[in-house]
Structure 1
């Protein structure tokens, strides 16, 4: 079994664009600490939803994927199984978001993009116990 060395980097499973970090900061100034959840269901659940922290109940099937500037990003286990070989990129685009997500009144919405991890990145994630 191969082990990850100190010089190898375990890739982040969720990252964010500058626009996403800017919107997170703006929403935190209005609403306090935030959290994200992406369930993968239909309708609003297919987009990342932004809530005041603690106002969405995290269940036993939710996986903490990352903390973006201290803001937790959760994904339902079934979605995680589908996406675990990709890096999730949280971004912002113009348009209406989910009706319960905090960014709705801002005229923009959070959107997830992705890129497939390389074979080496997947191996590093496995060795780190992250997938």
Structure 2
């Protein structure tokens, strides 16, 4: 199966640092409002996915959820979770006090990849 999500080395290092400090984590990428479409990192249980949101994979073992409407738009794209220096548009995410912000890079799946995509988990 083709993964829908991958994580850069720099994002992996930051996730490990945050997990050491905060314990189990989760990621959520909303479709707008205050945080735009920036992925947010929370302590597990610090945010509850809405009905029919999509969990597209694991980032270092932690669930990565996407807003249902945003997933409908990006369902044919691979997500690469990365991290940048600087303060993102939201500020609610656990990496914000460290002067960093998570970012997703997208690319469209090939036809061959689309035929073998890993399934998503939907919240109820």
TM-score by length of structure 2 reads: 0.89
**Contact 2:49–2:67 (8 Å) recurs in 1:** no
- Counting only pairs closer than 5 Å after superposition, residues 39-50 of structure 1 correspond to structure 2 as 39-50=30-41
- Counting only pairs closer than 5 Å after superposition, residues 49-64 of structure 1 correspond to structure 2 as 49-64=40-55
Q: Which runs of 4+ in 1 moved over 3 A?
A: none
Q: For residues 36 and 18 of structure 2, what CA distance do their matches in structure 1 show?
A: 20
SS at structure 2 position matched to 1:124:
coil
Report the aligned-residue RMSD: 1.4
Partner residue, 2:91: 99
Partner residue, 1:89: 80
Q: Deviations over 1:39-84 (max 9, x none)?
A: 1213314100000000101221211111122110000111111111
Q: Structure 2 residue aligned with 1:124, among 85, 98, 116?
A: 116
Q: For residues 104 and 62 of structure 2, what CA distance do their matches in structure 1 show?
A: 16
Q: For residues 57 and 66 of structure 1, what CA distance do their matches in structure 2 show?
A: 16
Partner residue, 1:38: 29
Partner residue, 1:76: 67
Larger mean Cα displacement after TM superposition, 23-32 or 37-46: 37-46
Q: Give the C-alpha shift of residue 129 in structure 1.
A: 5.1
Q: How many residues align?
A: 119
**Contact 2:39–2:102 (8 Å) recurs in 1:** yes
Partner residue, 2:57: 66
User: Which of structures 1 and 2 has the bigger CA Rg?
Assistant: 1
